Amino acid sequence: MKILEEALKRGDSTLSEHDSKLFLASHGIPVTREQIVKTEEEAASAAAEIGYPIVLKGSGAELAHKTEMNLIRLDLRTDGEVREAFKSLKKNSAVKEVLVQQMVKGDRELVVGLTRDPQFGPCVMFGLGGIFTEILEDVSFRVAPLTQWDAEDMMEEIRAKKILGAFRGKPAVDKKIMADVLISIGKIGLEYEAVKEIDINPMKILNGKPVAVDALVVLNNKKD
């Protein structure tokens, strides 16, 4: 995979959010519509093409903690708001480029991930996402490779499994698509030794279908 190869050659410890999503999308995992831009005009054009509302984020492999760095601008609804947000982000010297991203609304936030256990190897994680991941620790794990049954069993195992059903007038989560995501994450762990961790958080639900809103691929390179 070219994205991985180039990042490893540079000695990067992570892929940028955008490259992480490109990598995941190449393995069938649904991600947000988004574009990388370098100028205010490009940002305005990308926002119009993707469709409002829009999110702007500072982008780069070294910007893994964008929330803490105040590098996210949410719910932008006009050309003027996008331009102002772009200029605001560019005031930070660490921001070399900006991610213009579809804003996915929804109350349900899930987390999907990959870790490497010293004994068992690549393990897939699934559970409640967003701010609740660390607070409630409502997650399940399976050792890769996963079968369809394994993936569905993971969804049944979390305490808050009712969140996957019809919720506040919204349709139930398409468990077949979610299972395919979990299976794909396991396959990545088995196929790419250079992938140390994957963190998709949050994965939101749009019209019953999961979409990776934020993602980070951590690399196992010579510097680690």
Per-residue pLDDT tens over the stretch 42-69 = 999 999 999 999 999 998 767 766 767 7
Find out whether 18 and 224 touch, Cβ atoms under 8 Å: no
- What pTM value is reported for the model? 0.93
Which pLDDT value is given to residue 102?
A: 97
Distance in angstroms (rounded) separating the CA atoms of residues 48 and 98: 15
Which pLDDT value is given to residue 65?
A: 67
Distance of CA 193 to the CA centre of its chain: 20
Element (H, E) at 185: helix 175-191
- For the stretch 63-105, pLDDT in tens is 766 767 789 999 999 999 999 999 999 998 888 899 999 999 8
Distance in angstroms (rounded) separating the CA atoms of residues 130 and 199: 11
Which pLDDT value is given to residue 130?
A: 82
The sign of the CA dihedral 201, 102, 66, 185 is positive
Which pLDDT value is given to residue 190?
A: 98
Domains of the chain: 2-30+106-219 (3.30.470.20), 34-102 (3.30.1490.20)
Helices 148-157, 175-191: axis angle to 10 degrees equals 110
- For the stretch 142-176, pLDDT in tens is 999 999 999 999 999 999 999 999 988 889 999 99
Question: Would you list the DSSP string of 19-47?
Answer: HHHHHHHTTT--B--EEEESSHHHHHHHH
Which pLDDT value is given to residue 106?
A: 81
- For the stretch 1-38, pLDDT in tens is 899 999 999 999 999 999 999 999 999 999 999 999 99
Locate the DSSP E strands across 103-138: 109-117, 121-128
Nearest to 17 by CA among 81, 54, 64: 64
Residue where the block lists tokens 């999110």: 55
